[in-house]
Every structure is written in structure tokens, then in C-alpha cells.
Structure 1
């Protein structure tokens, strides 16, 4: 159940803008939103992130963001 524009219909610029906005508002939704608002925020974030991963399956993955990278940083 997509609310808002279907992520597949967004341009790349619109998708990036929406993702940035959702990540900027996450803490506020967590700390001050109702359970329904938080659930809706989570669903929309998942929709947009899924679309991003589908468009960019070969995106650069920083080795430091992998479990092995974390282990090497912490001994």
C-alpha cells in the first residue's frame, strides 16, 4: 500500500530528495509521532529504499560499512 507517489514513478532527483527528507525526520517521528505515524514512516522509508536498491544494485559499498570492516576498526 503505497501512500504518496509510487516510488517507481519518481525521478532520481525526487527519489533522493524524498530519502533525505525521511532520514532527516526519522528521529522526530520516533520520539514524537503516534504509533501509526511511526509505522507509516517506516513503510514509506522501506518503499523508497527498496526502489533505490533496485535502481542501483551495483552501488558502491564502503568496506568500512561491512562487518569485516567494523571488526578491523575495533581490533
Structure 2
């Protein structure tokens, strides 16, 4: 599948568009998993990896919630 078939290259998206695209994919993930074709699920997975990968490139020092770490979970 080419980048064109997957949508706009994530590197070309500004931050607002990147966040909007990621939110939409996360909103539709369960429905795609439960009811989508194998091709739709593969497309969804690839696109999610593309967008999340771009996010991580832009924000390598993102704010990690200590509660989301194993050590934080152990303290609960």
C-alpha cells in the first residue's frame, strides 16, 4: 500500500491535524477490529503506526504520566 493510499504523509501534517487524525483512529479502532475486513484492519494498523511514529519523532520527550509506569502501578 502506498503512502497516497494511506492518506496524507504524516510529515506533512501540522500538529493539530496530526492530533486530530490520531484521535479519529483511536475512536474507530474497536469498531474496525470487531467489524472491519482484514484489509481494513491492516490499513488501520499501518496508518496508526505511521501517525504515532510521527508523533514520537516530534515529541521524543513527551510527558509520561508516572502512574502509567510499572513503578507507579505498584504504588497503587
Give the alignment's TM-score, normalised by structure 1.
0.92
Q: Does residue 25 of structure 1 match 2:7?
A: no
Matches within 5 A, 1:44-55: 44-55=47-58
Q: Which runs of 5+ in 1 are unaligned?
A: none
Q: Which runs of 5+ in 2 are unaligned?
A: none
- Could you tell me how far apart the structure 2 residues matched to 1:14 and 1:31 are? 26
Where do 4+ consecutive residues of structure 1 move more than 3 Å? Answer: none
Aligned residues: 73
